[in-house]
Amino acid sequence: MQEPIHIIGGGLAGSEAAWQVARRGWRAVLHEMRPARPTPAHRTDRLAELVCSNSLKSEQESTAPWLLKEELRRLDSLLLACARTARVPGGHALTVDRDVFSGEVSNAIAREPLIDLRREEVTALPADAIVIIATGPLTSDALAEEIARVTGAGRLYFYDSISPIVDADTVDRNIAFRASRYGKSTDGTDDYLNCPFDREPYERFVDELLKAQSVPAHIAEDRTPYFEACLPIEELARRGRETLRFGPMKPVGLTDPRTGRRPYAVVQLRQENLRAESYNLVGFQNHLKFGEQARILRMIPGLENAEFLRFGQIHRNTYINAPALLTPTLQLRARPEVLFAGQISGVEGYVESIATGLAAGMHAATLAAGGVPKAVSRETAVGSLCHYISGAGAADYQPANITFDLLPQLDEETRHKLRRDKHARHAEICRRALAALAEYAGEPALPHHHV
């Protein structure tokens, strides 16, 4: 009997990788240490649990996040299919009920006879086996040391944080108004609750935020840089009093129906589950002490009597120095039978983790068949992500979300022709990416389709 492919980590990347291995006819052993070994951020034992936001980002056609999801759909991603089932209103974003989503993924994996789910902590890599390491940012210390030994490189890490969640019944609907920015919504309804600030309450809020007590750091701050796309609100406030108003509290595209004017600042609340029983505070990740969070967040208009189901938290993100270690097929250069996927490889974001899990699963199956993995086309979003984590400058390597900057630029003639139309340039990049994906997959090119 063939030796199974081992996938370590049952998060987004690991679950997708196991599914891709199985659908190619190979046995997979999926190792997940929860619930025997919990993490500081997870609250369930389900596979593919979403720890931070419940948003898989934009579904607006011809954007980079849309392109990545569209490629994954065309590659038959399990997790994108589960996201569609678990979808909740979220404006132009693909937002999901996180419990339904993780439940769908867990059930699909449990029903697949070629996947053996083992609830155990792995502290050493299986010998003489193809292995995908997808343990995410909360890799256990023992396994992190094993990875450091195998790669011959030390760990990198930075701080990341998760947003608070509020009980929907405790939001004052006489103050918070329902609207989507610029009127963009999922199905014609207004998807967000918006808590509007006038100038003086905003200034008081910033004053208290700047004075608030944070949870003490366990690692020296000069060695743990924040990820710039996911800064805690207190860090944003330290960068300037107006920074929040141009970031997560920007009021543009919104009108307060009580005044007929645009608010000075706004906190947006996004639906957490299908029953709309809870909302998360969009972009309000922080690592303040819980008592401080309760005090300061209740200064937000409409949340004066709020009950919080979860406060913001801080956790360590661990990732390898991938450009020095990995090939574009996500294989370890020193040990090609070992592959990395997800946030530990140095991608940031849910869909980016799914994408690298899918790619690693495909490549591992090729290895199992005795073949040589072929990197996903550089013209695609998936391929560009893999190219970034295997080819960016190693000296200052930092996790990245998908952006058009990661994809190859259009030729000079096309750029000149479309120089006045940014949307047309992005649409052309998407068209070329999807055509390249079809060629890579050996399938006829499909037209754009929006799910």
CATH number of the domain enclosing 219: 2.40.30.260
Residues 297 and 335 in one domain: no
Q: How many domains does the chain have?
A: 2
Q: What share of the chain is helix, strand, coil (3-state, %, to 5)?
A: 35, 15, 45
Of 147-151, 289-293, 396-400, the least confident: 396-400
Give the pLDDT band of residue 1 (cuts 50, 70, 90). Answer: low
The pair phi, psi for residue 194, each rounded to 5°, is -120, 125
Q: Residue 44 half-sphere exposure, CB side, CA atoms within 13 Å?
A: 15
State the average pLDDT over residues 201-226. 76
| Structure-token match 């989507």, residue found | 180
Q: How far apart are CA 115 and CA 23, in angstroms?
A: 10
**Location of structure tokens 């189901």:** 309
Q: What is the pLDDT of residue 221?
A: 45
Any domain includes 446: no
Instruction: Give pLDDT tens digits for 403-422.
Output: 898 999 898 888 888 888 88
Show Cβ contacts of residue 34 under 8 Å, excluding neighbours closer than 6 positions: 10, 42, 44, 45, 119
| Judgement on whether residues 146 and 179 belong to the same structural domain of the protein | no
> What range does the domain containing 264 cover?
162-316
The answer to whether residues 254 and 288 belong to one domain is yes
**Is residue 220 located within the same domain as residue 289?**
yes
Over residues 287-336, the pLDDT tens digits come to: 899 999 999 999 999 999 999 988 887 666 778 889 999 999 999 999 99
Question: Could you tell me if 172 and 151 lie in one domain?
Answer: no
Indicate the residue among 300, 316, 332 that finishes a domain: 316
Mean pLDDT, all residues of the chain: 88
Least confident of 11-25, 215-229, 323-337, 350-364: 215-229
- Angle made by CA atoms 40, 232, 225, in degrees to the nearest 5: 80
Tell me, yes or no, whether 189 and 300 share the same domain. yes
Predicted TM-score (pTM) of the model is 0.75
d(CA 169, CA 236): 29
Rg (CA), the chain: 22
Q: Do 110 and 135 share a domain, yes or no?
A: yes
Q: Are strands 115-119 and 28-32 parallel, antiparallel or unpaired?
A: parallel
The most confident of 26-40, 146-160, 303-317, 319-333, by mean pLDDT:
319-333
| pLDDT tier, 450 (very low <50, low <70, confident <90, very high otherwise) | very low
List of residues 6+ apart from 333 with CB closer than 8 A = 325, 326, 327
Of 284, 198, 204, give the one whose Cα is nearest residue 247.
Answer: 284
CA atoms within 13 Å, Cβ hemisphere of 278? 19
What's the average model confidence in pLDDT over 389-414? 81
DSSP letter assigned to residue 217? P
396 in the same domain as 253: no
